[in-house]
A and B are shown apart, each in its own frame.
Chain A
Amino acid sequence: MFHRFANPARFLRFAAVIQPWIAGLTVLLFAVGLYLGLLASPADYQQGETVRMMYVHVPSAWMALFCYTGMAISCGVALIWKHPLADLAAKATAPVGASFTFLALVTGSLWGKPMWGAWWVWDARLTSMLVLFFLYLGYMALNNAFDDPGRGSKASSILALVGFVNVPIIKFSVDWWNTLHQPASVVKMGGPAIHASILSPLLVMGVAFTTYYLWVLLIRIRREVTANKVRALQMRQASRGEQ
């Protein structure tokens, strides 16, 4: 399975078949999730209608971490087995993951203003997400920094793996840092467990975000494969022109 789809042509055929299904599933899940989240679920007794921000905020935060994990795994696979598609998958994931991180930060900020009274708090979660955003930016910058695209993808793969080691460290350290400076000033999800009427739309939205990611990933990988083909053809044409 794993090495079967190392062949880009085979992968492209496979992707062409499943892409419309994933697209349909994404649209359906978003429709259900948004209906449940925005209309069918109750408003929070304390936070009122703003609690609905959660249905976008929490899934995008999940996806931000999920994408980085996926990217790091792809980078490892690309470095170890020189799997051609893993490289493309990591490259295709980075901007999507960065967008999810950005979305999580922006929605969190919009949610924070009415709830905490501030757009930004130097809380553990916020800080670690910001660092994650910088790691994505560093990955993308390094990927584009070389004239030879092969060099860029290798260098950035190493960076993604190094950054992955750092993610749990960052999480722990800012927890520490936070308890020392401003303990328990932040609304936490602990305490009462989430009620099913709020949990189920959240889970539907989480799955919808995941299928959306897969959909975009397929589009981006197909685009990368095509771009590589175009580049190869151009190179061949250029070398033929020289002779």
Chain B
Amino acid sequence: MNGFLAIVRRDLRLAFRQGLDSLMVVAFFVIAVVLFPFGVGPQPNTLARIAPGVIWVAALLASMLSLERLFQTDYEDGSLELLALQPVALEITVMAKVTVHWLTTGLPLIVAAPLLGVLMNLPEDGYMPLMIALTLGTPTLSLIGAIGAALILGSRRGGILLSLLVLPLYIPVLIFGVSAVDVVIGGFSAKPQLLILSGLLVGALPLCPWAGAAAVRQGLE
């Protein structure tokens, strides 16, 4: 646990000293969503219909864009090898890095989401399920993304490759995240969708750090 907290503290400090990086993710999120009223036209009904999907897709892309930083900088300056050598299981290190990734990208996205809901004319009932679904879904995105981020270490053209690897795996989260909001707007309970999102998270929590650590290990060979 000490090792876990030490890595979380170190990476958070690094993130704060780099300052604008995590704000950039939120800026991307907002701008990507704002493009849609220009693209599909500003009719309130159309916007309300597509709002949950657009917000979720933008959150997905924003979370993916910041994945490359997850291991890449540590890999390049060699500190990832030192992190792998320390007497803490590599799985814990990966888990700590995922936690920091969520704190610096997932959490700002959740905070920014209601604002985007207003811009996209999201029906009032939709806010609560959107926030809950994002809270349950974005950690899963960070967890799955960590595997992809570890797999591309040392490859050519990593960023583009990362999107090809990770986006297909994000689809289940997207489907249930959007449908949780849609059913509540339609007047039903979102409990099944939210339970499945929690299930995905609970499944990803032990499995993804494990696979991610295996990927980091082969990346360091």
Q: Which chain A residues have a beta carbon within 8 Å of chain B's beta carbons?
A: 79, 131, 134-135, 137-138, 141-142, 145-147, 151, 154-156, 158-159, 161-163, 165-166, 169-170, 173-174, 176-177, 180
Q: Which chain B residues have a beta carbon within 8 Å of chain A's beta carbons?
A: 147-148, 151-152, 154-158, 161, 164-165, 167-169, 171-172, 175-176, 179, 182-183, 192, 196, 200, 207, 211, 214-215, 218-219, 221
Are A131's CB and B176's CB within 8 A?
no
A166-B169, A169-B200 given as contacts; is B155 within 8 A of A142 (CB)?
Answer: yes
B151 contact set on A, CB distance < 8 A: 142, 155-156, 158-159
A134-B164, A151-B218, A155-B151 given as contacts; is B156 within 8 A of A145 (CB)?
Answer: yes
Point out the residue from A137, A161, A173 that lies within 8 Å of B171, measured CB to CB. Answer: A173
- Closest A-B pairs by Cβ, 7 of them: A145-B155, A134-B168, A173-B172, A154-B218, A138-B165, A177-B175, A155-B151
Are B182's CB and A180's CB within 8 A?
yes
Q: How far is the CB of A229 from chain B (nearest CB, A)?
A: 24
Can you list 15 residue pairs at the A/B interface with Cβ under 8 Å? Answer: A134-B168, A138-B164, A138-B165, A142-B165, A145-B158, A151-B154, A158-B211, A158-B218, A162-B147, A169-B172, A169-B200, A170-B171, A170-B172, A176-B196, A177-B175
Point out the residue from B152, B161, B165, B175 that lies within 8 Å of A174, measured CB to CB. Answer: B175
B164 contact set on A, CB distance < 8 A: 134, 137-138, 141
A146 to B165, CA, bound (A): 15
Point out the residue from A134, A147, A176 that lies within 8 Å of B179, measured CB to CB. Answer: A176
A180-B179, A180-B183 given as contacts; is B218 within 8 A of A146 (CB)?
Answer: no
Q: How far is the CB of A157 from chain B (nearest CB, A)?
A: 9
> Which secondary structure dominates where chain A touches chain B?
helix
A188 to B148, CA, bound (A): 36
> Which secondary structure dominates where chain B touches chain A?
helix
Q: How far is the CB of B53 from chain A (nearest CB, A)?
A: 11
A156 contact set on B, CB distance < 8 A: 151
B211 contact set on A, CB distance < 8 A: 158, 161-162
Q: How far is the CB of A29 from chain B (nearest CB, A)?
A: 33
B218 contact set on A, CB distance < 8 A: 151, 154-155, 158
CB closest chain-B residue, reference A137: B164
Beyond the given A79-B214, A169-B172, A176-B192, could you list 12 further A-B residue pairs with CB under 8 A, ordered by the A residue number?
A: A134-B164, A141-B161, A145-B152, A145-B161, A146-B154, A151-B219, A154-B221, A159-B165, A162-B169, A169-B200, A173-B196, A177-B179
Are B215's CB and A158's CB within 8 A?
yes
A64 to B133, CA, bound (A): 33
Are B175's CB and A155's CB within 8 A?
no
A180 to B161, CA, bound (A): 33
A163 to B218, CA, bound (A): 18
A43 to B176, CA, bound (A): 41
Are B168's CB and A155's CB within 8 A?
no
A180 to B158, CA, bound (A): 37
Q: How far is the CB of A64 from chain B (nearest CB, A)?
A: 14
CB closest chain-B residue, reference A165: B207
A141 to B151, CA, bound (A): 12
Q: How far is the CB of B187 from chain A (nearest CB, A)?
A: 13
B165 contact set on A, CB distance < 8 A: 138, 141-142, 159
A182 to B207, CA, bound (A): 33
Point out the residue from A134, A158, A176 that lies within 8 Å of B167, measured CB to CB. Answer: A134
Q: How far is the CB of A101 from chain B (nearest CB, A)?
A: 12
A142-B165, A163-B169, A173-B172 given as contacts; is B156 within 8 A of A158 (CB)?
Answer: no
A154 to B154, CA, bound (A): 13
A155 to B155, CA, bound (A): 10
Best-buried of B157, B165, B192, B214 by chain A (most CB within 10 Å): B165
CB closest chain-B residue, reference A128: B171
Point out the residue from B157, B169, B175, B183 that lies within 8 Å of A145, measured CB to CB. Answer: B157
